[in-house]
């Protein structure tokens, strides 16, 4: 592969001049510029990003460590992150943690070793020492969706409390009183918050969330299935189940179907995170929708701000309830999905 030296030789100038042309530095004569450009063309020269990064100490690359690529929420997030990053002149390297702290650390380390300019993370756990060290050492970092408390890193996320209250009102309005939740890992903020928000909202209606109605999941489908089976095995199963993410809702649907039961007749179901498929499931699933694309874009902007020396602010956007049919029919319901 041709290097800058080959181009210099071909154009009959020094490597310094070639470099100047390539980085359009002003002080290059029109003639030299033309010769260099011709040589670049002739040799099919492309600058070596590795060498450039070594010298400039910049990779123009962002690292994104997401919790699970198989989760449509995170792929949508990844897509918007890459789009915004590209618009700002950055590339993105994605690491999939698969909800495993060890894999998360593997990717964080890998990205740090590659000297990415900044890191976007949705932590799968309470905080690996590795990531905390990196944050303390000054690696530009932004948390997205999930975060780690007590670290001085901007957080871009959505607040689902209001939407959860709407959901509980919806469930209550449909007559559900025994309601359960399939929670995410307690080590994650979203894992805890969604349970807390749900419990608080229930309390406002004078309802309790007993421990047997809190199933411990891990945000992946299999755990949703397992927890739901546990609920169905109870002497007094819940009337409604709220899955803290879309994959666990999928697992719950699997479990319900395996028992030959029906949603919502036998048990109501709602999920956090709305995805296109929820419109077409049997029944369509009532869900809490996050402004995913906007979150991804805001996170990139905050990160790039940090990288380029500007403050980089936290952002919290509201989620909203999208009512469909999985919690039961209620003709008087005001809010209703149009899609």
Partner DNA sequence: CCCGTCGATGTAATCGATTCCACGGAGTCC
Partner DNA sequence: GGACTCCGTGGAATCGATTACATCGACGGG
Cα distance between residue 17 and residue 1, in whole Å = 20
Three-state secondary structure of 294-319? HHHHHHHHHHHHHHCCCCCCCEEEEC
Look up residue 279 and give its DSSP letter: G
Tokens of 238: 């819940």
Using rule CB under 7 A, residue 70 touches DNA: no
| Residue placing its CB nearer to a second copy in the complex, 144 or 197 | 144
* Residue with token string 């699997």: 254
Using rule CB under 7 A, residue 47 touches DNA: yes
Q: Which residues contact 26 (CB under 8 A, 6 or more apart)?
A: none
| Residue 17 interface partner, choices DNA, a second copy, none, CB cut-off 5-8 Å depending on type | DNA
Q: What backbone torsions phi and psi does residue 101 show, to the nearest 5 degrees?
A: -55, -35
Smallest gap, in angstroms, from Cβ of residue 210 to a second copy?
A: 28
Tell me which of 37, 43, 52, 216 binds DNA, using CB under 7 A.
Answer: 52
| Residue placing its CB nearer to DNA in the complex, 1 or 137 | 1
Task: Find the part of the chain contacting DNA (CB under 7 A) among 50-58, 121-129, 190-198, 250-258.
Answer: 50-58
With CB under 7 A as the rule, give the number of residues binding DNA. Answer: 29
| Residue placing its CB nearer to DNA in the complex, 206 or 309 | 309
Tell me which of 14, 75, 91, 330 binds DNA, using CB under 7 A.
Answer: 14
Using rule CB under 7 A, residue 19 touches DNA: yes
Using rule CB under 7 A, residue 9 touches DNA: no
Residues within the interface to a second copy (CB under 8 A)? 1, 44, 46-51, 53-54, 59, 69-70, 72, 75-76, 78-79, 82, 86, 91, 93-94, 96, 98, 106, 109-110, 112-115, 133, 137, 221, 250, 253-254, 257, 276-277, 279-284, 339
DSSP state letters, 210-242 = -GGGEEE--SSHHHHHHHHHHHHHSSS--SEEE
Cα distance between residue 200 and residue 221, in whole Å = 26
H helical segments located in 88-240: 101-113, 129-136, 161-173, 189-204, 221-233
User: Nearest to residue 126, comparing CAs of 98, 150, 95?
Assistant: 150
Smallest gap, in angstroms, from Cβ of residue 2 to DNA?
A: 7
Smallest gap, in angstroms, from Cβ of residue 76 to a second copy?
A: 7
Smallest gap, in angstroms, from Cβ of residue 3 to DNA?
A: 3
| Residue 221 interface partner, choices a second copy, DNA, none, CB cut-off 5-8 Å depending on type | a second copy
Using rule CB under 7 A, residue 3 touches DNA: yes
Smallest gap, in angstroms, from Cβ of residue 95 to DNA?
A: 21
Cα distance between residue 287 and residue 194, in whole Å = 13
Smallest gap, in angstroms, from Cβ of residue 103 to DNA?
A: 24
DSSP state letters, 40-100 = HHHHT----HHHHHHHHT---EEEEEES-TTSHHHHHHHHHHHHHHHHTT-EEEEEE-TT-
Interaction site with DNA (CB under 7 A): 1, 3-5, 12-20, 22-23, 26-29, 31-32, 47-48, 51-52, 54-57
């Amino acid at each position: 592969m041709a290097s800058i030296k080959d181009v210099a030789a071909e154009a009959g100038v020094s490597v310094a001049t070639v470099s100047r042309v390539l980085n359009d530095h002003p002080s290059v004569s029109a003639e030299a510029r033309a010769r260099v450009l011709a040589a670049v063309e002739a040799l099919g020269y492309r600058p070596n990003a590795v060498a450039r990064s070594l010298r400039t100490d910049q990779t123009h690359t962002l690292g994104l460590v997401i919790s699970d690529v198989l989760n449509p929420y995170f792929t949508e997030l990844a897509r918007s992150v890459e789009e915004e990053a590209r618009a700002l002149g950055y590339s993105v390297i994605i690491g999939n943690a698969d909800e495993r702290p060890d894999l998360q650390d593997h990717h964080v380390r890998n990205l740090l070793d590659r000297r990415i300019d900044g890191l976007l993370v949705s932590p799968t756990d309470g905080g690996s020492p590795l990531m905390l060290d990196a944050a303390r050492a000054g690696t530009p970092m932004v948390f997205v969706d999930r975060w780690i408390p007590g670290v001085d890193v901007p957080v871009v996320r959505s607040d689902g409390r209001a939407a959860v209250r709407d959901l509980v009102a919806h469930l209550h309005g449909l007559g559900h009183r025994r309601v359960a939740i399939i929670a995410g890992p307690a080590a994650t903020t979203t894992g805890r918050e969604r349970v807390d928000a749900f419990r608080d909202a229930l309390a406002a209606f004078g309802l309790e969330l007993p421990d047997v109605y809190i199933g411990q999941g891990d945000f992946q489908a299999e755990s949703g299935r397992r927890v739901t089976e546990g609920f169905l095995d109870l002497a007094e199963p819940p009337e409604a189940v709220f899955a803290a993410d879309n994959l666990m809702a999928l697992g719950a649907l699997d479990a319900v179907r395996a028992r030959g039961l029906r949603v919502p007749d036998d048990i109501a179901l709602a999920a956090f995170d709305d995805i296109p498929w929820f419109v077409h499931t049997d029944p369509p699933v009532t869900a809490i929708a996050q402004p995913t694309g906007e979150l991804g874009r805001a996170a990139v902007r905050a990160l790039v701000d940090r990288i380029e020396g500007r403050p980089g602010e936290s952002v919290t956007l509201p989620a909203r309830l999208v009512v469909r049919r999985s919690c039961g029919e209620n003709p008087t319901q005001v809010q209703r999905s149009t899609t």
